[in-house]
Chain A
Amino acid sequence: MATAQATPARPVRAGARRGPLAALRDRPAAAKLLLLALVAAVVVPVVHGRWGGGIWPDALTADLSAPLGDVTDWIVSNRDSHPLFLYFFGHISNAVVLSVRGVYLVLLALGWAGVTVFAAAVAWRVAGIRLALTAAASFLVCGLLGMWVPTMQTLALMVVAVLASVVLGLLLGLAAGLSDRVFRLLRPVLDTMQVLPAFAYLLPVVLVFGIGVPGAVLATVVYAAPPMARLTALGLRGADAGVMEAVASLGATGRQRLLSARLPLARKELLLGLNQTIMMALSMAVIASVIGAGGLGDRVYQALSSVDVGAALAAGIPIVLLAVVLDRTTEAAGRRIGAEPTGPALLRGWRGWSLAAAVTAAVAVAGRATDGRVWPEDVTVAIAGPVNTAKDWMVDHLYTGVPVVGGTADLASHFTSGVLNPLRSGLTGLPWWSVLLIVAALAWTIGTWRTAATAVLAMAAIGVLGVWEPSMDTLSQVLAAVAVTLVIGFGVAVGAARSERLERLLRPVLDVFQTMPQFVYLIPVVALFGVGRAPAAAAAVIYALPAVIRITTQGLRGVDPAAMECARSLGATPGQQLRQVQIPLARPALLLAVNQAVVLVLAVVIIGGLVGSGALGYEVVLGLAQGDLATGLVAGAAIVCLGLMLDRVTQPTTRRQRQES
């Protein structure tokens, strides 16, 4: 009922004379800023006099390294004896290890031929013959690159993590979908979890489970379950009220209503949730190599730490192929819902599935008979060597001294010295209270006082944790990368919105880019720019661009055609149409694009710690590498705060609108 009550339109006052207060009431943003300025005028002199300007004052920090160190020491020393670990975490850990091991053994038992045929058969059943061929080719390429075993390791971890995520997500989603109270409770948590960088999840898991497969799987589950829960809840709640009423009118019990109507009606959302969960699980399973996940991610991680681009690429390609195959297959399954079954009647439904199973079994048995369980070692193509030769050539010829454009290394160093450094020194040079003020002003003008309070508190928490400086460093990289992303992204999107052909060209590129895990983007930038902060920013830009371009293009294209037609009929030039109609009407989409850019860029900038971007990401890596979990945990908490702050500052009222719809 509450949703039905629309906010009453503000009465338009005809009177020309209005007091300044009335004018402020009509412009809430100005009123908020004025109020904030008043508060600042009173508080700032006091605060400044007491603690001074510059970076966050030491007097206001709480040194958590000692207590955190105690906690980690306690956990490490009690991990094998304390009942909590023995009877709870221990069992979880064992179960995870056993199931990953089990799946891995099954994959090995199927043999390379069996796995390939199985993947192709599943893809054929859900998505058609073309995707089946893609899947088969992808797995063969994985084998050819000599990556069969790591691919199977990653796949085994993925299978377990995805199953656990889906079960957990479904349960949470069911609860939130059927109970308003759970939904209100869960929704902000899930929304926030979705904007946090993957790195933030690693340390708490390591703290409890130590480095290894169980920690990696659980971090993946925590990271990948929220989209499933979120979409399940939204799908269940979004069930067509008319259908639900009709079902109730026929006398269905609560259970019948859920099983025969509400769940089937939410099938699209459920499959979308599955798709997102799989993609996020893959992304995290690769990143979790930092905490001992093994598999493909580990190969990339090892190769990157010795700047061996060739080896990194050999492991990176299977990741991309896995991502594409998994994404396309689940996506196709979602698209096929409600469509007429196609193909010969003999192959429909269970007949097709049993045929697929039979073929897989036959091939697996044949594979075993010919001893083809592991990919034959002499049928591999070693691409690492040639790639590294090419990379050396690039280092020699492209890094510096390219006429006109300059070299890539030159570009990177210019970007570092010309943009990143001034930005960083500017941010650290700003009085700490002014940073809080700016955050408050930004968050309050586009959101509510709640979002502003959250953002300011998150920022202050960073200061209290004593990681103000590295956080400002990370923030400077984020801001620079976001600026570049938005300039390029909006430019391309305006073009794509206007030219059908450009959009058609871009679409498959964006599709592929959007499916790749964050980690993979580090490989090409290291090849092009070396290591440092600029490559991390470049990877962030590449990672965030597709989403920005896509959201903006859709926003511009989604503008009410009647409004556009009206503008054209009045003789507006394309530029006028863009400025006066498209951009104002697409404002929600543009704001969403900014929000997404910030969230995605932050995620990759943090991972950039692996390729020498320093700052918070590096502290996490360092903490992990040296077993100094206290440092890592503090940095992880700062990442959470930074993510929270950045999201709230760029989060327009869309969230509220979404809740109402």
Chain B
Amino acid sequence: MNGTETLKATGNAGSTENPVFSVRNLWKVFGPKADRIPGGEHAALPPAELREATGCTAAVRDVSFDVRKGEVFVVMGLSGSGKSTLVRCLTRLIEPTSGTLAIDGEDVLAMDRSRLRELRRHRAAMVFQHFGLLPHRTVLDNVAYGLEIQGLSRAERRAKAAELVTKVGLAGLEDRRPSQLSGGQQQRVGLARALAVDPSVLLFDEPFSALDPLIRREMQDEVVRLHREEGRTMVFITHDLSEALRLGTRIALMRDGGIVQLGTPEEIVGSPADDYVREFVRDVPREQVLTVATAMRPALAGESERGPAVRPDATVSEAIEAVSRSGDPAARVMDGGRLVGVVDHACLLDVVAGTTGPGHATASATGAQDAPAAPDAPDGSREVTL
């Protein structure tokens, strides 16, 4: 995974800036004498054996990653994989056992109480799976709650809150109580409450898991829209693979407290790091995630003239559609008027059938870096196709 990390770090334009969150060797161990586990003799044991030997559970084990400015960093894993603990460690809602953690270069673990409060008030706001709304307050007062805690005057915070209520599409419901809203509406309130404090990073803890599939879809669109409009950095926890692929600029896949693989959706699907990840992404419609940049081969002589043109960041399924509509044997992959390769029937079928080997896909992924990064575009295109 470190390989992937450095690989992407060199390829992404955002990497030159300081990361929003910088996490190194973070541990969170629950249980007696938890602080002895990281770096100790038991550190490498599998969860069951660790519990047997020490009575401790390592919810987060030796995790390192950076969250870059403006990206949607998705942490994905099954329940019990430690993802929710990890996101709580970021603002020390759960105190990490060991490791280092910095926000905008400032050491979070060294913060005193007031500094930490400052961090929670202004820099990182969180959206929760079960909303965490105050049942005795109206929608407007719930949204204004974070501002109230900061000590803003009633008029100021209400004006700001009203603006956000409209922004998340709840205009007209300001005076309702949370119990009178549907689940999706309640989560919009939660989202508005987090946005109201204008944080530099938004943390989502499985925000849509408790919602119906259709509403979930709608809320995901909402997040995509917000991200596109504001470009706010987001850390998004989910157990839903399609949600992760839909929203994530990069995805960290967690298992038993550790990160198994970290990469773009395309890398996770196209070149799984191990059997666990491969099993995980097996049912993903690959043609909807992988881009033609991954699937293409160099153009042979004479192929530069014929066939429909597609962009390198178009998905394979879009290419399939283009090829089958045009009737040509292959599509040209054009990057700003320059031919970078072609995708023919064989290339496209390989992707759909999943017969592209990992080696092949990695090579293609390396090639894909030549394409100029357009952070928002992949999200936009996936929104249509997935």
Contact = CB atoms under 8 A, between A and B. Distances in A.
Interface of A: 1, 240, 242-243, 245-253, 256, 260-261, 264-265, 267, 337-338, 340
A245 B145 contact: no
A267 B136 CA distance: 9
B91 A249 contact: yes
Contacts of A249: 91, 93, 120, 125-126, 128, 132, 203
Interface string B130-173: 11111110000000011011100000000000000000000000
Contact of B148 (A248, A260, A337): A260
A256 B203 CA distance: 22
B136 A245 contact: no
Q: Residue among A245, A261, A337 with the most chain B CB within 10 A? A: A245
B260 interface: no
Nearest to A4: B30
A252 B149 contact: yes
A249 B116 CA distance: 10
Nearest to B142: A246
B150 to A, nearest CB: 8
Given A250-B120, A261-B134, A267-B136, A256 B128 contact: no
A338 B179 contact: yes
Given A250-B197, A340-B180, 17 more contacts: A243-B133, A243-B135, A245-B128, A245-B132, A246-B131, A247-B134, A249-B132, A250-B121, A250-B125, A250-B149, A251-B117, A252-B117, A260-B145, A260-B148, A261-B134, A267-B136, A338-B179
B132 A243 contact: yes
29 contacts: A240-B132, A242-B129, A242-B131, A243-B132, A245-B93, A245-B132, A246-B126, A246-B128, A246-B131, A246-B133, A247-B132, A247-B134, A247-B145, A247-B149, A249-B91, A249-B120, A249-B126, A249-B203, A250-B120, A250-B193, A250-B197, A251-B119, A251-B150, A252-B117, A260-B145, A260-B148, A260-B149, A265-B134, A265-B136
Contacts of B129: 242
Contact of A242 (B30, B132, B150, B177): B132
B118 interface: yes
A267 to B, nearest CB: 7
Q: Residue among B118, B130, B136, B148 with the most chain A CB within 10 A? A: B136
Nearest to A337: B136
A267 B145 CA distance: 19
Contacts of A251: 116-122, 146, 149-150
A246 B91 CA distance: 12
Contacts of B197: 250
B118 A338 contact: no
B200 to A, nearest CB: 14
Contacts of A267: 136
A246 to B, nearest CB: 3
A2 B196 CA distance: 37
Q: Residue among B93, B120, B126, B149 with the most chain A CB within 10 A? A: B149
Given A251-B120, A253-B117, A260-B148, A338 B131 contact: no
A357 B339 CA distance: 84
B59 to A, nearest CB: 12
A105 B218 CA distance: 64
Nearest to A246: B132
Nearest to A243: B132
A532 B136 CA distance: 53
Contacts of A242: 128-132
A419 to B, nearest CB: 52
Nearest to B124: A249
B79 to A, nearest CB: 15
Nearest to B177: A338
A238 to B, nearest CB: 13
Please provide the 9 A-B residue pairs with the shortest distance between their CB atoms, ordered closest to farther. Answer: A246-B132, A251-B120, A251-B121, A249-B126, A251-B117, A250-B146, A242-B130, A242-B132, A264-B136
A358 B125 CA distance: 47
A317 to B, nearest CB: 38
A240 B129 CA distance: 13
A1 B34 CA distance: 14
Nearest to B130: A242
Interface residues of B, number: 33
B228 to A, nearest CB: 25
Contacts of A261: 134
A243 B136 CA distance: 12
A264 B190 CA distance: 19
Interface in B176-209: 177, 179-180, 190, 193, 197, 203
Contact of A250 (B30, B136, B145): B145
A337 B177 CA distance: 11
A337 B118 CA distance: 33
A212 to B, nearest CB: 43
A338 B193 CA distance: 20
Contacts of B128: 242, 245-246, 249
Nearest to B176: A340
Interface in B236-284: none
Contact of B135 (A250, A252, A265): A265
Q: Residue among A245, A251, A261, A264 with the most chain B CB within 10 A? A: A251
A253 B117 CA distance: 8
Contact of A340 (B117, B135, B146, B177): B177
Contacts of A265: 134-136
A261 B131 CA distance: 14
Nearest to A250: B146
B117 to A, nearest CB: 4
Contacts of B93: 245, 248-249
Contacts of B146: 250-251
A252 B145 CA distance: 10
A248 B116 CA distance: 11
Contacts of B116: 251
A260 to B, nearest CB: 7
A384 B117 CA distance: 69
A260 B146 CA distance: 11
Contacts of B193: 250
Contacts of B148: 260
Contacts of A243: 132-135
Contacts of B119: 251
Contacts of A338: 135-136, 177, 179
B48 to A, nearest CB: 15
B176 to A, nearest CB: 9
Contacts of A248: 93, 120
Interface string B101-126: 00000000000000011111110011
A642 to B, nearest CB: 44
A256 B177 CA distance: 21
Contacts of B149: 247, 250-253, 256, 260
Contacts of A256: 149
A183 B148 CA distance: 31
Contacts of B133: 243, 246
A535 to B, nearest CB: 48
A58 to B, nearest CB: 55
Nearest to A253: B117
Contacts of A337: 136
A340 B93 CA distance: 34
A251 B199 CA distance: 12
Nearest to B120: A251
Nearest to B179: A338
Nearest to A264: B136
B147 to A, nearest CB: 9
Contacts of A264: 134, 136
A235 B48 CA distance: 37
Nearest to A263: B136
A252 B197 CA distance: 13
A265 B150 CA distance: 21
A413 to B, nearest CB: 58
B99 to A, nearest CB: 20
A256 B197 CA distance: 17
Nearest to B196: A250
Contacts of B130: 242
